[in-house]
Structure 1
């Protein structure tokens, strides 16, 4: 049986260059696709996300969500504290994670969590 090795969610954005700059400010490395389509790649450690520019993207009706497991949610929250968008405070959950939420200007919800220590 074949093994699944990784996943890269594809996130719609209204402005690819602005989104790539935002992810760079969040500590990701970024690059644009060299083809004719406005498409980009963002990576940080073992996490990869793909971005696709979608002219009809409306954050109120086409929201996306990703869950990012990290080693230290509080440290990432501190790093992201100046990011454009909405950032909730970290909290301990009943399911054993310390987590917070970040909603970017394109409406993508990034839930970020690490195991409680």
Structure 2
């Protein structure tokens, strides 16, 4: 039986990736050189090295559900000067989610959402 889904995302620069995700609250739990494992509470994101990857051509994306206080999380992102996606400002969507989006240093779209 499937019990957990863990995204595996590319990274171009290890230090930039770890710095970026630590600002989002993820901590490094394993560094295997070309493979990283980060954790946020009970959630994990794994990263694989892809130095020749072009972030401008990335189709990688994940959706991260927020249980409560997406407004506070959004404000924290802004306070840390993390760039919000130009088309991803915090707003309530017709499908009943309040969402915003970021793009990580390797071009992965991160969308955060909370049910309204």
Question: How far apart are residue 105 of structure 1 and its match?
Answer: 2.3
What TM-score results when the alignment is normalised by the length of structure 1? Answer: 0.84
Change (3 A) 1:29 1:78: same
Q: Which residue does the alignment assign to 2:66?
A: 70
Q: Which has the higher contact order (CA 8 A, sep 6+)?
A: 2
- Superposed, which structure 2 residues align to 1:1-117 within 5 Å? 2=1, 4-34=2-32, 37-71=33-67, 72-81=69-78, 82-87=80-85, 88-116=88-116
User: Over aligned residues, Cα RMSD in angstroms?
Assistant: 1.7
Q: What is the count of residue pairs matched by the alignment? A: 112
- Give the C-alpha shift of residue 83 in structure 1: 4.4
Does the 8 Å CA contact 1:16/1:39 hold for their aligned counterparts?
no
CA distance in 1, matches of 2:52, 2:31: 20
TM-score (norm 2): 0.85
State the secondary structure of the residue aligned to 1:63: coil
In structure 2, C-alpha distance between the alignment counterparts of 1:7 and 1:57, rounded to whole Å: 24
Alpha-carbon displacement from aligned partner over 1:3-30 (angstroms, at most 9, x marks no partner): x111111110111122012111211111
